[in-house]
Amino acid sequence: MHRGDTIFARASGAGKAGVAVYRLSGPESHNIANQLVGKRIINREAVLVALRDPKDGAIIDRGLAILFENPKSFTGEDVAEFHLHGSHAVEISLYDVLSRLGARPAEAGEFTLRALKNGKLDLAQAEALADLIDAETTLQKKQALGQLDGRLSAVADGWRHEILAVMAPLEADIDFPDEGDVPAAIAEAAGPAIVRLRESLTAFLETSGRARTIREGVSIAIIGPPNAGKSSLVNALAGSEIAIVSDIAGTTRDIVETRLDLGGVVASIADTAGLHGAHHDAIEAEGMRRARARAEGADLRVAVLDPKSEFVSRETLDLLKPGDFLVWSKADLGAAIPTQSPTGTIVHQLSSKSGAGLSAFVTDLTKAVAGGANADGPALTRARHVRAVEDAINALARAEINITRAPELAAEDARLAARALGQITGAVGVEDVLGEIFSSFCIGK
Ligand SMILES: Nc1nc2c(ncn2[C@@H]2O[C@H](COP(=O)(O)OP(=O)(O)OP(=O)(O)O)[C@@H](O)[C@H]2O)c(=O)[nH]1
Ligand SMILES: [K+]
Ligand SMILES: [Mg+2]
């Protein structure tokens, strides 16, 4: 078992609460707990206790204490848990006593890091735990729970072992190179297996693109000329008055952002300053610069145009890409809309005021953002996973070429492919990515 010092943290959220959960992990955690409660507690049994400062017997609080003996605990170490009143004063006196008894405050993600080092979960599962804590939509939650269950780990490990199995006879060939016609027979057997592995990894890479959309969400920029009704549309989508609406052109200057759940995918919607080519002051120009930058960086753009407006819409239309939306606003005013629109855009007409056409627009927008997204299968939820699979595919493609003419090179390629896949669960190269992954954790997890 990995042995660290003894750490503590509040495992439940910060602030006042009915109950707060504190956790101790490490070799001294049970000893410290026993000193606080003044008696021995039975493993895995919740007991109502009074926690006292062993120095003077002053009461800290009354609550539940539970001990978990290693290795059957979250971290794999001895763990003690206290369920106390969620009070700032209780927390201060508890921390004071725990520090005096030799424990130290945990760093962000340190409990999970210990769990990882003790083999309680692998790297993909540790990431899933962070995703579960951050999950905002039910689809994100479902995906994180599946990943925590080891879905991705299982397929990544499965492929890794298949590659190693294909590689084994190749390596034997390299070790005993003088055994006549072995290479041809080996190449014959290994070649198709390598091709099959590369093809299934490629197929998996293609179908798992949606997984990152679920985890990371999408960004949508609402753009258009001044007074087109952009802020009105954002407010209608959000169901609250988050952006200022007025009949004065140039009302919105800064980017105003809101988050929506579109079919389980978190969409970050940005309201932007109106785009136009006429003479403008420095602040307006800066607003337009930000609007353009946001439009270019977004996953999807929604151009809002008022069919009765005198503003030229070229500046807006130039930013659109195929798959983006073109929304004709103020349908309640009854203006005819042009029949022409930029190729590949999805056209809608609606009124933020009356609500006409709004639900049809939301349905299409949801389809564009979340269509085909489901959280059922194993998924490559992070860039790190995608990179690992891409590296494995490239290495297998090289092995495919080398297998007949230079089996020792093919063996090395296959080894690299297996190594790349091993990085997903942390079977190899775990130290390289720990910082990146654990820096995003909260204290107490
Ligand atoms: N009749 C009608 N008026 C609307 C509708 N949507 C917006 N308006 C009006 O159009 C004007 C401009 O609306 P905004 O939402 O401020 O437009 P904007 O595109 O955000 O404008 P800027 O931020 O100045 O670029 C306001 O007077 C709104 O009340 C609509 O669906 N119907
Ligand atoms: K306006
Ligand atoms: Mg506005």
- Segments forming the whole domain that contains residue 185: 126-208+379-438
Here the CATH number for the domain that contains residue 423 is 1.20.120.430
- The predicted-structure confidence for 316-347, as pLDDT tens digits, reads as follows 999 999 999 999 999 999 888 888 888 899 99
Residues 270 and 365 in one domain: yes
pLDDT at 179 over 90: no
Is 273 labelled as part of a ligand binding site?
yes
Residue at token pair 């946001």: 294
Query: What is residue 333's DSSP assignment?
Result: G
Protein residue with its CA nearest to atom 14 in ligand 1: 229
Residue 120 marked as a ligand binder: yes
Question: Hey, what are 247's tokens?
Answer: 């009949």
- Joined together, the tokens standing for residue 28 give 């001294």
**For 5-24, what is each residue's pLDDT tens digit?**
999 999 998 889 999 999 99
Which residue would you say has higher pLDDT here, 310 or 174? 310
User: Are 326 and 181 part of one and the same domain?
Assistant: no
Please tell me which residue, 321 or 40, carries the higher pLDDT value. Answer: 321
Domain annotation covers residue 34: yes
Residue 232 assigned as binding residue: yes
Q: How far apart are the CA of 351 and the centre of ligand 3, in A? A: 15
Q: Are residues 223 and 295 in the same domain?
A: yes
pLDDT of 180 over the 50 cut: no
Output the domain CATH number for residue 50: 3.30.1360.120
Helices within 208-342 (DSSP H only): 209-216, 230-238, 282-297, 314-317
Residue 445 belongs to some domain of the structure: no
Domain shared by 80 and 95, yes or no: yes
Mean pLDDT of 145-174: 87
- Say if 443 falls within a structural domain: no
Co-location of 113 and 195 in the same domain: no
pLDDT at position 185 is 73
**Is residue 1 in a domain?**
no
Closest CA to 222 of 120, 306, 118, 304: 304
pLDDT at 2: 55
Q: What is the pLDDT, as a whole number, of residue 211?
A: 86
| pLDDT band with cut points at 50, 70 and 90 for residue 405 | confident
Per DSSP bridges, beta strands 47-52 and 17-25 are unpaired
Residue nearest to atom 5 of ligand 1 (CA): 330
- Is 386 among the domain residues? yes
Beta pairing class for 79-86 and 17-25: antiparallel
Do both 338 and 284 map to the same domain?
Answer: yes
What is the per-residue pLDDT for 327? 97
The reported pLDDT for the residue numbered 177 is: 57
pLDDT of res. 287: 95
Q: Whose CA is nearest to atom 1 of ligand 1?
A: 330
To the nearest whole percent, how much of the chain has pLDDT over 90?
A: 75
Task: Say yes or no to pLDDT of 423 above 60.
Answer: yes
Amino acid at 362: V
What ligand has the least distance to the C-alpha of 352? 1
When the pLDDT of each residue in the chain is averaged and rounded to a whole number, the result is: 91
Same-domain pairing of 364 and 221: yes
Residue 364 covered by a domain: yes
Of 70, 86, 120, the last residue of a domain is 120
Ligand 2: distance of its center to the CA of 427 in Å?
A: 56
* 366 and 221 inside one domain: yes
pLDDT given at position 310: 83
Ligand 1 mutation target, pool 222, 223, 227, most atoms within 8 A of CB: 227
**Residue to substitute in 232, 248, 281 for testing ligand 1 pocket (most ligand atoms within 8 angstroms of CB):** 232
Helix (H) and strand (E) counts for the chain?
Answer: 15, 12
| 360 CA distance to ligand 3 middle (Å) | 22
- Residue in the structure block whose two tokens are 């890409």: 321
247 alpha carbon to ligand 1 midpoint, in Å? Answer: 6
**Do 222 and 195 belong to one domain?**
no
Answer yes or no: is pLDDT of 308 > 80.
Answer: yes
Q: Is 248 annotated as a binding residue?
A: yes
Expressed in angstroms and rounded, the spacing between residue 265 Cα and the centre of ligand 1 is 27
Q: How many domains does the chain have?
A: 3
Nearest to 49 by CA among 35, 69, 68, 29: 35
181 band by pLDDT with thresholds 50, 70 and 90: very low
* CATH number, domain with residue 235: 3.40.50.300
Q: Tell me whether residue 396 is in a domain.
A: yes
Residue scoring higher pLDDT (403 or 81): 81
Tokens of 195: 């091709």
- Assess whether 242 and 201 both reside in one domain: no
What does the pLDDT look like over 57-91, one tens digit per residue?
Answer: 999 999 999 999 999 999 999 999 999 999 999 99
Q: How much is the pLDDT for 255?
A: 97
Q: Cβ(80)–Cβ(29) under 8 Å? A: yes
pLDDT digits (tens, 9 = 90+) for 245-278: 999 999 999 999 999 999 999 999 999 999 998 7
| 231 annotated to a ligand binding site | yes
331 is in an annotated binding site: no
Domain assignment present for 444:
no
Q: Stretch 168-176: mean pLDDT, rounded? A: 69
For residue 310, report the distance from its CA to the centre of ligand 2, in Å.
Answer: 14
Domain shared by 230 and 326, yes or no: yes
Ligand nearest to the CA of 250: 1
**How far does residue 371's CA lie from ligand 1's centre (Å)?**
30
| 182 has pLDDT over 60 | no
pLDDT at 372 over 90: no
**Rg of the chain on CA atoms, in Å:** 29
Domain boundary among 63, 88, 120: 120
Ligand 1 pocket, residues with Cβ under 6 angstroms:
224, 226-232, 245-247, 249-252, 274, 329-330, 332-333, 351-353
Spatial distance between the Cα atoms of 317 and 347, rounded to a whole number of angstroms: 12
Please indicate, yes or no, whether residues 330 and 289 belong to a single structural domain of this protein. yes
Using CB atoms within 10 Å of the CB of residue 443, give its burial: 0 to 12 exposed, 13 to 18 middle, 19+ buried. Answer: middle
| The last residue of a domain, from among 91, 120, 149 | 120
pLDDT tens-digit readout, 81-134: 999 999 999 999 999 999 999 999 999 999 999 999 999 999 999 999 999 999
For 183-242, how does the pLDDT look when each residue is reduced to its tens digit (9 = 90+)?
Answer: 677 777 888 999 999 999 999 998 777 788 899 999 999 999 999 999 999 999 999 999
Over residues 278-282, the mean pLDDT reads 81
